[in-house]
Amino acid sequence: MDDENDVDGETLYCICRSADSERFMIGCDHCEEWYHGDCIGITTDDAKLIKRYYCDACIARNKNLQIQYKTKKKDRRTSESSEYEKFDKNQKDYRNKLREKMASKNKKASRKCGDCSACSRNEDCGRCDYCKDMKKFGGSNKLKQTCRMRQCTSYSNKSRSRGHAEVDDALETDDEVPRQCYGPSCVEPARIGSKYCSDECGMKLAKSRIYEILPSRIQQWQSSPCVGEENNKKVLESLREETIEARTRLKQLDVKIQELDLLVERGKQLTIVAEQEGTDQEEDTELSIYCVTCGTELNHKGALRHMEKCYLKFEAQTSFWSLYKTHIEGNSMFCDFYNPQQKMYCKRLKILCPEHTKEPKVSPDAVCGCPIATNLFAEGETLCRIAKRKCVKHFCWEKLRRAEIDMQRLRQWMKLDDLFEQERNIRMAMSNRMGVLGLMLHQTVDHDPLRVMKTIVS
């Protein structure tokens, strides 16, 4: 503190922090600081009436302090009373003027009442989050806020939306008179602005509080039912069921893929039968078909082929990129092509991605192999044996089926993701509820006298 009060060997006084000791000064009988009479609105005549003077800062910190007069206040009805009243009035006027002056001079000062303990602190505590953010305490200066201990308490109780963090190590009264450290069996004086002499003592007391309170809280927690906990458990159970369902569905879809693979393999064994071609050509020759993507009128023979190409053309114009590669157990359905310039991964379905998946070349001997429908909803064992290149009925059937399965797989994975997120939130709520902090901070008081009986009986 000496360096703050000392500049170039000179002692600094008063609220003006000047070294001037030539003019009239009065000393505070509490902090022993000296104040210029004209700086604090006290004349030499006023001083004659005062027995013990306490400065504004000390009075603000300790409400028990009051300026003591040579004649007691109750005797003020005497001839001298007018003098005291005059002095009191002067002081009030002076303070009001000072406040107005400060307010007009500095808009930022409007957040300080000037009277509370926080306003009279002249050093940052160095321990709160705002102090730790400050450059002088090695912070990054992101928060740029006033030390918690210096934030005006009057202002914070009305208009500040930001909560004043209750720090256990903070003062209740902020009385800067050193007192005994609150640490268990510690006899050292507490640090100024703290209940403790050191961080260790604060931690020691916190620890012993936990040892003292926690066991009974755990017992209480275990003996009384908690509706929130029960509800959470129920939701967790239903989430678990839904997860199992989604996983079963995924397995079924995997089986579907295997079945499709087998079907394709079976088709490969077949040879082309040309006769079927003739019968098909006669059907529906007069029907008009329009492309679902571009709207052009199409010949039914080339309709599917056109629509597929047209779709791919339009699909290629839109990109679906993500910064992250997909991590899925088993085969991923995403393209996940990595673009090194953008540093991103393609998120189209792999089977449908026109940009990064090349269509396999169809050999002239390849058979279509699509199962032929026996009626609208069922398909028989018979496979289409027209040449793959020529079959207009089942164009790209295999690709579309794979895409359909992949879409269903994707839907299930998204559902699993959603279920996982919900479970995580519930588990977090549950662990918060019965975590050390939760148990220490909250407890349930049961006001129903019958409930106690029930617990005892059961």
Partner DNA sequence: GCCAACGTTGGC
CA proximity to 443, closest of 230, 233, 219, 234: 219
Q: How far is the CB of 134 from DNA (least distance, A)?
A: 6
Cα 24 to Cα 34: distance, rounded to the nearest angstrom: 10
Q: Which is nearer to DNA, 97 or 233 (CB)?
A: 97
Q: How remote is the C-alpha of 62 from its chain's centroid?
A: 39
Q: Which is nearer to DNA, 10 or 85 (CB)?
A: 10
SS3 call for 13? strand
Q: Which is nearer to DNA, 135 or 361 (CB)?
A: 135
Q: How far is the CB of 177 from DNA (least distance, A)?
A: 25
Residue 35: beta bridge partners?
A: 26
Contact between 335 and 356 (Cβ < 8 Å): yes
Residue 188: beta bridge partners?
A: none
Q: Which is nearer to DNA, 145 or 232 (CB)?
A: 145
> For binding to DNA (CB under 7 A), which residues are involved?
105-108, 110-111, 124, 134-136, 142-147, 150-151, 161-163
Contact between 71 and 60 (Cβ < 8 Å): no
Q: Which is nearer to DNA, 78 or 106 (CB)?
A: 106
Cα 7 to Cα 18: distance, rounded to the nearest angstrom: 9
Contact between 298 and 310 (Cβ < 8 Å): no
Q: How far is the CB of 124 from DNA (least distance, A)?
A: 7
User: Rounded to whole angstroms, what are the CA distances from 170 to 14, 76, 161, 435?
Assistant: 27, 40, 20, 25
Amino acid code (one letter) for 145:
Q
Q: Which is nearer to DNA, 90 or 156 (CB)?
A: 156
Q: Running DSSP on this structure, what letter comes out for residue 421?
A: H
